[in-house]
Structure 1
Amino acid sequence: MTVVPPAPGEPRRPEGPRNPGDAWVVADTGERYWGRFGAAGLLAVDATRGILLQHRVSWSHFGGTWGLPGGALHEGESAIVGAIREAQEEAGVPDGAVRPRFTSVLDLGIWSYTTVVADVRSPFDPVISDPESVALEWVPVDRVDELPLHPGFGAAWPMLRAQLDVFPAVVVDGANVVGSVPDGWWKDRAGAAARLRDRLAGLAVPADDLGLAGDDWYPEVALVVEGRARDIGTEAAETGAAEAGVAEPALAVVRADAAGDDAIVAEVERRVAGAQRVLAVTSDRELQARVEAAGAQVRSSGWLRRLLDA
């Protein structure tokens, strides 16, 4: 791998402090990829208007094509943070306007590009805020293929489009997960449930575990609590969402009025009826059979613990 600055006579980025990530990575075969530490782009999905696309200025790499707002990552920066930052710089995406749903990574070994698919939670109008865009438009999903697309985005679009109608959810048997580790939870059931709630904020689930395409998914999470744990609040601990410029994770606390198992089954049934792909977390064999019959996939409490510990 070789890292080089723009070639003589090649358009440069706007003047200002240069970030070490703003450089070309050149493969042995001569192909060039922007971003010493990789790159990321934001695919913002508005349920009414479609997806946000950028018409690239003619002098840019693959100029004249349509693609996603995005660019080079900073050293040590996560793909989600970088995609949001670049979209704010290039398209004026406001803080907290989008919530990540999943990521898809193209990893070439010497360089990687991460597409961050995010749902618009607060509608906004994009603003051209740097010289790299001719236009920024909300494009209906069924019209994207009519445009001359950036080659990388064009290759990824069929898979990405196929996932845009998928909204996974994870329903957690709070009592079972809390009780799976002998850490003294019985002394303070509400406190143990609150700690689990806080750890679930922003839960990332590998695509393979959901039977979906892509890499990591950020599903809606419903934590079902019962007994003394019903007293916990709905607020989650600081998740870093504000610093990343994204909307807060979708985390709901469901309080069981009676038997916790019945509340879990009811929550699964409600979400399955709403066409969500549901994964229920419990190690209770009888409950596993009930939620499977209701249409959910099942994972054990140990599976969730391993995800959270990772």
Structure 2
Amino acid sequence: MTTAVSAEQSPLPPHPRDPGDAWVEAPTGERYWGRFGAAGLLVLDKQDRVLLQHRAEWSHHGGTWGLPGGARHQGESAIDGALREAAEEAGVPRESVASRALSVLDRGVWTYTTVIADDVTPFEPVISDTESIGLEWVPVGEVGDYPLHPGFASSWQMLQTMLATRPVVVVDAANLVGSTPNGWWRDRAGATTQMINKIAPLASAGIAASALELPADHWFPEFVVVLEGKARAAIPLLGASDGAGRLGVTPAPRLRLESAPGAGDDAIVTETARLVEAGKAVTVVSSDRELTARVTRAGASARRVRWLYDLLD
């Protein structure tokens, strides 16, 4: 079952041209649209459907189905370009989606980045320029039945695998903080707060796929930091101050703090098992050998704390 919108349902405002709206020609003669590269948005909704665009007949490979997207502007990131184009062509609200992964096709003189995202707030697409003649929410299993744009068709199998992958990094906070002899034992909550504030930017910036041993080029995993004992005092400091002028934990969209009611290791194993059962690709960060063995048996992969420190550096 698909939901669709046609060109007759939406006014078409003018689409101003940008210096990026130009062809790039490879030495072998192939031409690619987008002087600064191009990007498209592959957004998955909570009903396991993706948003497809029916391309106008006058466009490149017109009449086929693909992703809303197009040429990037000069100095524009792939994510910003994909979100801007998706808003222009399909009325996708920027605040309604959250990026999960990036997949880059590199032709040497030109790149195309597919931004995989999840809808965090349901929305209905709206045709907002002449490049779209139709928009549909299509179940993932039915995408291959459509006459797809050749570039999208060639990458769909890999992209479908990525859609099914949801990485989570579970952090053993006690082990991570305790691995550095910086006086943390004098103020466990303070040392834990400082550590979490270092992780928050990484949660926002994401991780190279090679570090997670996953397909694609870049991922934005969820980070779950498990706190035990006195370190749990960091949780009330989320986005606040402790009253003594010490800054609290900086909130981050992909960062979640979990308080262990008892032993931290037991809480980590329980959380790991729950996430694995939910189909997540879980990586646990700890140098504790016994804990590593337990989470591995639960279906997660494990990395020593040095792995995370290297990413933070």
Report the TM range for the smaller structure's normalisation.
0.7 to 0.9
Deviations 1:243-284 (A, max 9, x none): xxxxx33x2111112221121111111112222221100112
Deviation at 1:14, TM superposition (A): 4.7
Query: 2-side partners of 1:308 and 1:264: how far apart?
Result: 21
1:267 aligns with 2:271: yes
The alignment covers a number of residue pairs equal to 287
SS at match of 1:96: helix
Query: 2-side partners of 1:74 and 1:173: how far apart?
Result: 41
Q: Kindly indicate whether the alpha-carbon contact (under 8 Å) linking 1:172 and 1:281 is maintained by their aligned counterparts in 2.
A: yes
Aligned residue number for residue 161 of structure 2: 162
Query: 2-side partners of 1:61 and 1:184: how far apart?
Result: 61
Query: 2-side partners of 1:81 and 1:184: how far apart?
Result: 42
CA gap of 1:167–1:134, structure 2 versus 1, over 3 A, is same
Aligned residue number for residue 306 of structure 1: 310
2:234 paired residue among 229, 232, 242 = 232
1:152 aligns with 2:168: no
SS at match of 2:189: helix
1:37 aligns with 2:50: no
Aligned residue number for residue 170 of structure 2: 171
Matches within 5 A, 1:109-258: 109-198=108-197, 199-200=199-200, 201-202=203-204, 204-233=206-235, 234=238, 237=250, 248-249=253-254, 251-258=255-262
Q: Kindly indicate whether the alpha-carbon contact (under 8 Å) linking 1:49 and 1:138 is maintained by their aligned counterparts in 2.
A: no
Q: Kindly indicate whether the alpha-carbon contact (under 8 Å) linking 1:39 and 1:73 is maintained by their aligned counterparts in 2.
A: yes
CA gap of 1:276–1:136, structure 2 versus 1, over 3 A, is same
Identity %: 57
Deviation at 1:238, TM superposition (A): 6.4
Unpaired stretches in structure 1, ≥5 consecutive residues: 1-12, 240-247
Deviation at 1:80, TM superposition (A): 1.5
SS at match of 2:124: coil
What is the alpha-carbon root mean square deviation over aligned residues? 2.1
Deviation at 1:295, TM superposition (A): 1.7
Query: 2-side partners of 1:153 and 1:129: how far apart?
Result: 22
**Structure 1 stretches (4+) deviating beyond 4 angstroms?**
none
Unpaired stretches in structure 2, ≥5 consecutive residues: 1-12, 240-248
Q: Kindly indicate whether the alpha-carbon contact (under 8 Å) linking 2:101 and 2:117 is maintained by their aligned counterparts in 1.
A: yes
Query: 1-side partners of 2:128 and 2:250: how far apart?
Result: 33
Query: 1-side partners of 2:22 and 2:180: how far apart?
Result: 48
SS at match of 1:178: helix
1:283 paired residue among 271, 282, 287 = 287
Q: Kindly indicate whether the alpha-carbon contact (under 8 Å) linking 2:37 and 2:72 is maintained by their aligned counterparts in 1.
A: yes
Matches within 5 A, 1:95-114: 95-114=94-113
Deviation at 1:158, TM superposition (A): 0.9
Deviation at 1:116, TM superposition (A): 0.8
Matches within 5 A, 1:66-105: 66-105=65-104
Query: 2-side partners of 1:29 and 1:92: how far apart?
Result: 36
Moved more, 174-183 or 110-119: 174-183
Query: 2-side partners of 1:15 and 1:269: how far apart?
Result: 49
Deviation at 1:184, TM superposition (A): 4.5
Query: 2-side partners of 1:204 and 1:258: how far apart?
Result: 30
Q: Kindly indicate whether the alpha-carbon contact (under 8 Å) linking 2:15 and 2:129 is maintained by their aligned counterparts in 1.
A: no
Query: 2-side partners of 1:267 and 1:98: how far apart?
Result: 26
Query: 2-side partners of 1:15 and 1:290: how far apart?
Result: 56
Q: Kindly indicate whether the alpha-carbon contact (under 8 Å) linking 1:55 and 1:64 is maintained by their aligned counterparts in 2.
A: yes
Deviation at 1:307, TM superposition (A): 1.5
Deviation at 1:90, TM superposition (A): 1.5
Aligned residue number for residue 7 of structure 1: none
Q: TM-score, normalised by structure 2?
A: 0.85
Aligned residue number for residue 10 of structure 2: none
Moved more, 196-205 or 269-278: 196-205
Deviations 1:91-138 (A, max 9, x none): 111132111121111011111111011111111000111111101111
Q: Kindly indicate whether the alpha-carbon contact (under 8 Å) linking 1:26 and 1:32 is maintained by their aligned counterparts in 2.
A: yes
Give the aligned residue type for 2:88. E
